């Protein structure tokens, strides 16, 4: 179940004539639910307080997203 | 029928007066993949979907209104007491001219909300796939708003909302599994 990453990357074609400085690596989000199918039984839970904060009761679905201005705070960074 | 609890689903905090962030957030208020569209889409599809998943649409549709209320609170706080000059600097003076500080169901580009954002095809699989797509689009919109925002308190609330989109998408995916399931068909070998 844990054989996935929350982020994938790809490398778009860079033309010598692109006016903006190229972004060589693009990333996109691939949150855990994409890999889950039907939710299996007996998954690990947050305690109620943590669950309210996280937005989900289930640890397996927790995928916090942080912007470029707040880097390094998420498990998916 | 609904019962209203006079509190937000998740506390909304905003660090500073920032009308520009309000301009982005309005996308999730009255945009195509926003919370209003989501609530209305699911609560409307309930009538023409198999019994097994009606409750799910009711639950998620109801929760979307709780999200709408959070977004409204964020926008309200980000623009409360902002001067016309500040609104002008944020590029929303045209909103001010039309609405003062009032909220309006429109997207980030100022296009008013329209029912054509909400599909109802009557085919359960088609409708649920639309719902899954809507959740992923809302998740992406939250990412792009978080990318634009430097307000850590606001981002905390937005992260919560993004996580809820993930859970909703998961539940809609499970609904598709339920509806295509063949377990109750008699198998004779
Ligand atoms: Fe949702």
Q: Where are the domains of chain A?
A: 7-61
Q: What is the Å distance from ligand 1's center to B100 Cα?
A: 29
Which CATH number is correct for B19-179, 3.90.1170.50, 1.10.3720.10, 1.20.1260.10, 3.40.30.10? 1.20.1260.10
User: Would the pLDDT of B171 be above 80?
Assistant: yes
Beta bridge partner(s), residue B57:
none
Instruction: Quote the radius of gyration of chain B (alpha carbons, Å).
Output: 19
Probe site for chain A from B53, B167, B175 (most A CB atoms < 10 A): B167
State the DSSP code for A1. Answer: -
pLDDT over 90, % of chain B = 93
Question: How many C-beta atoms surround the C-beta of residue B124 within 10 A?
Answer: 19
CA–CA distances in Å: residue A30 to residues A71, B143, B166: 18, 12, 10
User: Would the pLDDT of B188 be above 80?
Assistant: no
The mean per-residue pLDDT over the stretch B16-42 comes to: 96
- pLDDT at A75 (0 to 100): 47
* pLDDT tens per residue across span A1-56: 556 788 999 999 999 999 999 999 999 999 999 999 999 999 999 999 999 999 99
Probe site for chain A from B159, B162, B175 (most A CB atoms < 10 A): B159
Domains of chain B, by residue range, sit at 19-179
The label of the residue with tokens 């209003």 reads: B36
* pLDDT tens per residue across span B88-107: 999 999 999 999 989 999 99
Q: Which phi-psi region, left, alpha or beta, contains residue B103 (left: φ > 0; alpha: ψ -120 to 50)?
A: beta
Q: Tally A–B CB contacts below 8 A.
A: 64
Q: The pTM is what?
A: 0.91
Instruction: Quote the radius of gyration of chain A (alpha carbons, Å).
Output: 17
The mean per-residue pLDDT over the stretch B62-71 comes to: 98
Q: What are the tokens at B23?
A: 């301009």
Closest CA relative to residue A23, chosen from A11, A35, A32, A34: A11
Asked whether the beta carbons of B34 and B107 are under 8 A apart, the reply is yes
* CB proximity list for B128: less than 8 A, separation 6 or greater: B49, B53, B172, B175, B176, B179
Q: Which residue of A has its CA nearest to B153?
A: A70
Nearest by CB to residue B164, choosing from A29, A55, A67, is A55
């Amino acid at each position: 179940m844990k054989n996935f990453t929350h982020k994938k990357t790809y490398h778009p074609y860079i033309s010598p004539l692109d006016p903006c400085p190229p972004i060589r690596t693009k990333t996109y989000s691939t949150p855990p639910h994409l890999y889950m199918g039907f939710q299996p039984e007996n998954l690990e839970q947050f305690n109620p307080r943590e669950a309210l904060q996280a937005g989900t009761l289930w640890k397996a679905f927790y995928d916090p997203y942080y912007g470029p201005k707040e880097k390094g705070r998420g498990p998916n960074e | 029928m609904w019962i209203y609890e006079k509190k937000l689903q998740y506390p909304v905090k905003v660090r500073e007066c920032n009308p520009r962030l309000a301009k982005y957030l309005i996308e999730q208020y009255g945009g195509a993949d926003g919370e209003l569209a989501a609530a209305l889409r699911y609560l409307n599809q309930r009538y023409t979907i198999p019994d097994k998943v009606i409750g799910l649409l009711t639950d998620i549709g109801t929760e979307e209104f709780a999200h709408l209320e959070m977004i409204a609170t964020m926008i309200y706080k980000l623009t409360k007491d902002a001067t016309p000059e500040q609104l002008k600097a944020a590029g929303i003076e045209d909103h001010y001219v039309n609405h003062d500080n009032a909220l309006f169901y429109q997207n980030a580009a100022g296009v008013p909300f329209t029912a054509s954002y909400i599909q109802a095809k009557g085919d359960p699989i088609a409708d649920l796939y639309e719902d899954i797509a809507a959740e992923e689009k809302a998740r992406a919109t939250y990412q792009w708003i978080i990318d634009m925002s430097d307000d850590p308190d606001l981002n905390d609330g937005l992260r919560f909302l993004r996580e809820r989109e993930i859970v909703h998408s998961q539940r809609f995916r499970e609904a598709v599994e339920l509806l295509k399931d063949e377990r109750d068909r008699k198998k004779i070998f």
